[in-house]
Structure 1
Amino acid sequence: MVLVIPVGMTGCQSSEGTAKIPDKVDFNFHIRPILSDRCFTCHGPDASQRKEDLRLDTREGALAALKDYEDRYAIVPHNPEASEVFLRVTSEDTSLVMPPVSSNMKLSEYEIKLIKKWIEQGAEFKPHWSLVPPQMPTIPTVDEASWITNEIDYFTLKKMEEVGLSPNPKADKVHLLKRVSFDLLGLPPTLEIQQKFLSDDSPEAYEKLIDELLTSQHYGEKMAIHWLDVARYADSHGYQDDGLRTMWPWRDWVIHAFNQNYPYDQFLTWQLAGDLIPDKTRETILATGFNRNHKITQEGGVIDEEYRIEYVTDRTNTFGKAFLGLTFECAKCHDHKYDPISQRDYYSTFAFFNHVPEKGIVGTIDASFADPPNMEITDEDLEKVLSFVNKKDTATLEVMVMKDSMGLRDTHILTRGNYDAKGEKVAFATPEAILEYDTTRFEKNRLGLAKWLISRDNPLTSRVLVNRIWQEIFGRGIVKTSGDFGMQGELPTHPELLDWLALDFMNNGWDMKRLVKLIVMSSTYTQSSKLDKKAIEKDPENLYLARSNRIRLGAEMVRDHVLASSGLLNPEIGGPSVKPYQPEGVWESSTSGRGLLQTYIQDHGGDLYRRGMYTFIKRTVPPPVMLMYDASNRDQCEVRRLNTNTPLQALVMLNDPTVLEASRVLSEKLITEHIPIEEKIEKAFQLILCRASVEEEKTLLINYYNEELQRFSQHPQEANKFITIGEFPAKETEDKIQVAALMQVIHTVYNMEEAITKS
């Protein structure tokens, strides 16, 4: 579907003070957002809450005669003065005006003008844009075709030209290298890679770099971080007792799947229904652990069926958000108030996940086995099909997986969502507004559900995925609300580009690495992030992509950058989660006082220096440093992290033992090198900021080094104390004063905003 957003209108946003009413008012981009915000609560899809039997989310409902007035209509095409909607929103009578005064909502003058013109133009209704299968749009023509690298750029440049913007110049190689390295690996480029790329003047240098990064085993780790949020992966069960769980082999599979570039349709199918495919293997069954990552109770006295229903509910909600970008959970207790998902639709989808032979509670807080259905990973598995699982000891390894009962369990609509209030019985189905569930095409199980998802007729699956990859790279999706493609979600800034990407993705075998490469090769991606006053005034949020965004590194990458740049990083792939430094008493203050996880037992040795994605996540007490940087607590499916900026983040960088230890270790390494101190400082600068310093920076840092050298010389006991931070063995050196002074300089560089910013 090709949609054109009039200039000045992107998503639900408008500059109403200066915006011109568009020549053609579009229902999806102008009218539906108003109706959804102000009217659908009382006049939308939810029949139980609908007032006066008036429905404004459908053409039939809006054009029908009013309940008690056969000669009056909510909307009369081409005649606003005969349309009750227009008359009510413009009424000065507080007993008649809509929305009601009690709602504390009202329409602006601009919105009223939009509605009037829409009615005058015939009041055309359209299906919601995301529920219409994408159609391949025509590649736009642009004025500055020389800027184009690939098809993405035609769409973005066309939008810039429409609003009077021009793209930024290309980023210099130094900043581009840092940007793409963090986007593809989540790690800074080494000095060797920096030198190699900067010295390669060939036209293919950048593409060769991308191809090299895509083959790195760390690529799978970076891509997996987001998917762990989506899958609500954690190392504990949640709820009050929050006992230990072992699902890290599934995490190893996710990393492996990204590194092997499994097509997304396969990646999706195996996780939803790897136990049901005809050629299933131990690997495809392990992949279904995706469905078992939800919270599980281990508390005595709970009502078994109540919690079993909670688990099925979580799978259903996760399915809706993860794969369809819809708020399914809103239809659990009643028809969705905004989107065409009825309560019947919800429980018909619920039925696919309701046949697992599980209980609400199994075992005790320290049960040595995984809740059934489960899968034991044997030595034979590790030698053959599951060689990517990084098992380190001889203990029995069990993970939770999916399995359906031989005898199917009936599924009922649950009145108001209550587990024990069974209503009408329902069969396997999905919301027809998305795509009818044709049982001649799709099996009546999770495998059929997976096939329904990856059908080319499904309007959402591909769009949702490419939007999320775009979000991971640019910091914002083409649809900002990446978890809500429904009526209350924001509209796409570049709808034609979204459709083109979705279709191109499917047409090329759902190839993930190809999609990522296409995006990072584009001129849109390689722009400088330098700020232009005109662009900021016209487009402060950079919706039109006339520059690159400056984005703070994610929680895991802040840690990874510090470890990698200092040489501390343990590059091991996969394996059990680890417990690095953490403030004392955090777990103990929130524990139930029982079980293996009642006390935080820190790891030592190489486990202290694993990547952030391997940090142990206890749901009731998530890693505090990670939370400071907006990491998910993994209670539920999350598809977009917040990006906050708080003083606590600065305090972390100043006081975190990992940052101080990394500064010490890098200082010790550089002190042993037989090069002038100026070169040592410059080398540290390049390792951390991934660029050479300018003269002013060099002068400041050298002066600071000399000041600290003098201070520590006068107070050697402070130097001795300073350089003992962290467990990594200290190098034997007589230059402790110099180590402390250089450590202070390095620590300062780590605390520069640029150090943890992807520009």
Structure 2
Amino acid sequence: MPSIAPNHIWLLLISVTLLGTGMSCSNRANDRELVDYNFDVRPILSDKCFKCHGPDANQRKADLRLDTEEGAYAALKDDASQFVIVPGEPNQSALYHRITTTDSLDIMPPPEANLALSEGEIELLKKWIEQGAEYKPHWAFIPPEMPDRPEVELADWPQNDIDYYVLKKMESQGLSPNSEADKAHLLKRLAFDLTGLPPDLELQEKYLADDSEGAYEKVVDELLASPHYGEKLALHWLDVARYADSHGYQDDGLRTMWPWRDWVIHAFNSNYPYDQFLTWQLAGDLIPDKSKETLLATGFNRNHKITQEGGVIDEEYRIEYVTDRTNTFGKAFLGLTFECAKCHDHKYDPISQKNYYETFAFFDQVPEKGLVGTIDASFADPPNMEITNEDVAGILDFINKQDSAKLEVMVMQDSTGIRATQILDRGLYDAKTDTVTPNMPLAIMPFDTAVFPANRLGLARWMLAEEQPLTARVFVNRIWQELFGRGIVKTSGDFGMQGNLPTNLPLLDYLAIDFRENGWDIKRLIKQIVMSATYRQSAEVPQEKLEKDPENVYLARAPRLRLPAENVRDLVLASSGLLNDDIGGPSVKTYQPDGIWESASSGRGILTNYIQDHDKDLYRRGMYQFIKRTVPPPVMLMFDASNRDQCEVRRMRTNTPLQALVMLNDPHVLEASRVLAEKLFGEAGDIDAKIEKAFQLIICRPPGAEEFAVLQGHFKEESQYFAEHPDAAEKFLRTGEFPRATVENVTALAALMQVVHTIYNLEEAIVKT
């Protein structure tokens, strides 16, 4: 990569505010009289006891269960006169004696487990037993009920129902909300959240000049109607669906699934209700009115890795594909770690190994093989569908097909009775034991075959049943996470017993029920959230709030969040005018250091060598960058993008020096700096006006007086440097493939490019506040 020209550049290194690990429970027992099993007791038992006394029968010690009421109230196996727990009587409860004894042979957890109960936890368990030791189903398996809107002290603050639930929790912690963000910051936040792009100057000027009461709602509606809205929503779903442009494993050959990505963007832009979005992806090949579009949607289930290496055992890899579909289903739609039950009963959640393979059975009737064709096969692995030019002109008109070449994608198909699904001993493909039929864990909701057909369509209908406790909660939590950086349940992929408890269960249940009762309308859900006073708060961090709530769990301020990896690129391209904003189409290969693919290649196939694209393809949005699973785009990985190996519902958010080095040296950032400087030089106005406009395009607000003075001084310093080093100026301006503009004053142009580059390297450039 080109390096930054030697000079006196000042910059603020990227320093994203990173919130650390979360509190497992927001409602501690010392905040109230009554001890709650789900919020106070079960987290202790799950962390310290369930490994040996939980759902996994193979690991259970002393035939004692603490995860069920029956087990906890039972007599001890070796002394029928003693009981594990006697409700109301801790001194008569064997559990209490074992956690308070000083005898190293009797104490629980045993010393060799490297687990220990704190004095506070012991006191909490004692208090719970005194109060009757009431067991409850896990909170996530209890169907949500619409909570009453709470009374709040700051009654004039809420803008909609969401704010009452947030404010009630805030006030219970002695917190009060921030004031509303200024219009410039709010517009930038909104534009990136709804489109993944910065607001252009026209939108900024229009919104800032609109003093009408409905100005904010008008800009919300405008951004929701943008075709880029579908791209922003799709970006998260591509992580969930483990979308990539190659098959994975060692050979990692070419895969064509981008038409499915085009469908996802189309589905969000068309505001397909979530029940339809879910059903088509799980079972679009089975619905009564199926079409080529519904069939294409089922590509969701075929985005898993596929081997193309000779000598593999066919059945072993076929089992891997079904396993991937099962695990992805559990995490994507139910927010549960089904994968933990593949080899044994789940150690924490009520998902047995039998349950796992009963779920597996829904995805096990696909007529597929572990290995099909060769690494450079010109067809998609069956089952597949061909997309013709007639399709693109008709029912699939949302697909951005740019040539007449044959186009095939992998989809789903069931062949009833093609095989029996059997439990695999320890998860081994060739250790088949008992036969099972499609079913779901009873603890979540019974799967009544009189109501739900025993196939993927029945599974989708089961997911959408009114009494289903997870489907709506999981999805609204993910949308909340996308907007606030953290879900109401922080562990958005684990609503099970080892996951974090919801920080505001009434809010989560309100959102889930309201979402379902209003037609699973995704745009309506998002509009509700961004219209709330909660969302519109300033991101300023008063010291008092930082001390009381360092992770901003109670949302007494807006979060400061670095943009997703793809949107960092989008900001640079859009603000400079380089962005090719075509929607959909094949993935592209942009600037990348030499030799990265080659060093990780098996030496076979057309993806052995990295062949960069050119012209307008170089400037496509970040979501369209070609993802080779074994060697994902390095810049994207530095900013915490998914490598798409498996379903991922929450990205990490790190802060490393490598990110600052990318912003300093990445060819696209340098090229964008040059191109924007050239454009500004071609416009009327003095150098001050050009600097101010560059700042407004990138930071999305006017510069303050002090900021502007620093940038003016920086321009003068760089002008002097480049006047003394004309060769350095010429070299600096040779960045990137975009054609250079003719500018006579090369010294001033290079200095302005350096100023623009500095603005891109400000923390605020890639952070929404």
TM (norm. structure 2) is: 0.96
Take 2:393 and 2:211, find their aligned partners in 1: how far apart are those partners?
A: 44
The Cα of 1:82 is off from its aligned counterpart by 1.2
Structure 1 residue runs of 4+, over 4 Å off? 13-16
Take 1:690 and 1:59, find their aligned partners in 2: how far apart are those partners?
A: 57
The Cα of 1:12 is off from its aligned counterpart by 2.1
CA contact (8 A) 2:367 2:418 kept: no
CA contact (8 A) 2:25 2:503 kept: no
1:25-55 deviation digits (Å, cap 9, x = unpaired): 1000000000000100000001111111100
- In structure 1, the partner of 2:138 is 128
1:544-569 deviation digits (Å, cap 9, x = unpaired): 11000000000000000000000000
Letter of the aligned partner of 1:269 in structure 2? T
- In structure 2, the partner of 1:37 is 47
Letter of the aligned partner of 2:502 in structure 1? P
The Cα of 1:21 is off from its aligned counterpart by 6.5
1:222 and 2:223 aligned: no
1:12 and 2:24 aligned: yes
- In structure 2, the partner of 1:478 is 488
CA contact (8 A) 1:248 1:576 kept: yes
Out of 690, 694, 697, the residue aligned to residue 680 of structure 1 is 690
Out of 615, 621, 624, the residue aligned to residue 611 of structure 1 is 621
1:184-207 deviation digits (Å, cap 9, x = unpaired): 000000010000000000010000
CA contact (8 A) 2:25 2:502 kept: no
The Cα of 1:379 is off from its aligned counterpart by 1.1
Q: Helix, strand or coil for the counterpart of 2:688?
A: helix
- In structure 2, the partner of 1:650 is 660
Take 2:25 and 2:101, find their aligned partners in 1: how far apart are those partners?
A: 25
Paired-residue identity, %:
70
- In structure 2, the partner of 1:169 is 179
CA contact (8 A) 1:11 1:492 kept: no
| Residues 552-631 of structure 1: pairs in structure 2 closer than 5 A | 552-631=562-641
- In structure 1, the partner of 2:304 is 294
CA contact (8 A) 1:570 1:607 kept: yes
| Residues 47-62 of structure 1: pairs in structure 2 closer than 5 A | 47-62=57-72
Q: Helix, strand or coil for the counterpart of 1:47?
A: coil
1:628-657 deviation digits (Å, cap 9, x = unpaired): 000000000000000000000000000000
| Residues 531-550 of structure 1: pairs in structure 2 closer than 5 A | 531-550=541-560
CA contact (8 A) 1:21 1:114 kept: no
1:346-387 deviation digits (Å, cap 9, x = unpaired): 000100000000000000110000000000001111111000
**Compared CA separation, residues 248 and 353, structure 1 to 2 (3 A):** same
Single out whichever of 21-30 and 104-113 deviates more from structure 2.
Answer: 21-30
Take 1:496 and 1:620, find their aligned partners in 2: how far apart are those partners?
A: 43
Larger RCO: Structure 1 or Structure 2 (Cα < 8 Å, ≥ 6 residues apart)? 2
**Compared CA separation, residues 252 and 48, structure 1 to 2 (3 A):** same
1:229-274 deviation digits (Å, cap 9, x = unpaired): 0000000000000000000000000000000000000000000000
Q: Helix, strand or coil for the counterpart of 1:588?
A: helix
- In structure 1, the partner of 2:7 is none
| Residues 243-642 of structure 1: pairs in structure 2 closer than 5 A | 243-642=253-652
Letter of the aligned partner of 2:496 in structure 1? G
| Residues 690-729 of structure 1: pairs in structure 2 closer than 5 A | 690-729=700-739
The Cα of 1:14 is off from its aligned counterpart by 7.2
1:289-331 deviation digits (Å, cap 9, x = unpaired): 0000000000000000000000000000000000000000000
Take 1:748 and 1:87, find their aligned partners in 2: how far apart are those partners?
A: 65
1:94 and 2:112 aligned: no
The Cα of 1:621 is off from its aligned counterpart by 0.4
- In structure 2, the partner of 1:4 is none
Take 1:15 and 1:573, find their aligned partners in 2: how far apart are those partners?
A: 45
Letter of the aligned partner of 1:443 in structure 2? P
Single out whichever of 322-331 and 21-30 deviates more from structure 2.
Answer: 21-30
Single out whichever of 366-375 and 530-539 deviates more from structure 2.
Answer: 530-539
CA contact (8 A) 1:34 1:111 kept: yes
Count of residue pairs the alignment pairs up:
748
Letter of the aligned partner of 2:682 in structure 1? T
CA contact (8 A) 1:470 1:478 kept: yes
Take 1:509 and 1:13, find their aligned partners in 2: how far apart are those partners?
A: 31
| Residues 741-752 of structure 1: pairs in structure 2 closer than 5 A | 741-752=751-762
1:577-622 deviation digits (Å, cap 9, x = unpaired): 0000001111011000111000000000000000000000000001
CA contact (8 A) 1:229 1:634 kept: yes
Take 1:449 and 1:434, find their aligned partners in 2: how far apart are those partners?
A: 13
Take 2:260 and 2:663, find their aligned partners in 1: how far apart are those partners?
A: 32
CA contact (8 A) 2:25 2:39 kept: no
Note the aligned Cα RMSD (angstroms).
1.0
- In structure 1, the partner of 2:673 is 663
The Cα of 1:405 is off from its aligned counterpart by 1.2
The Cα of 1:211 is off from its aligned counterpart by 0.3
- In structure 1, the partner of 2:6 is none
1:481-521 deviation digits (Å, cap 9, x = unpaired): 00000000000000000000000000000000000000000
- In structure 1, the partner of 2:119 is 109
1:201 and 2:201 aligned: no
The Cα of 1:674 is off from its aligned counterpart by 1.7
TM (norm. structure 1) is: 0.98
CA contact (8 A) 1:12 1:30 kept: no
CA contact (8 A) 2:26 2:503 kept: no
Take 1:515 and 1:345, find their aligned partners in 2: how far apart are those partners?
A: 33
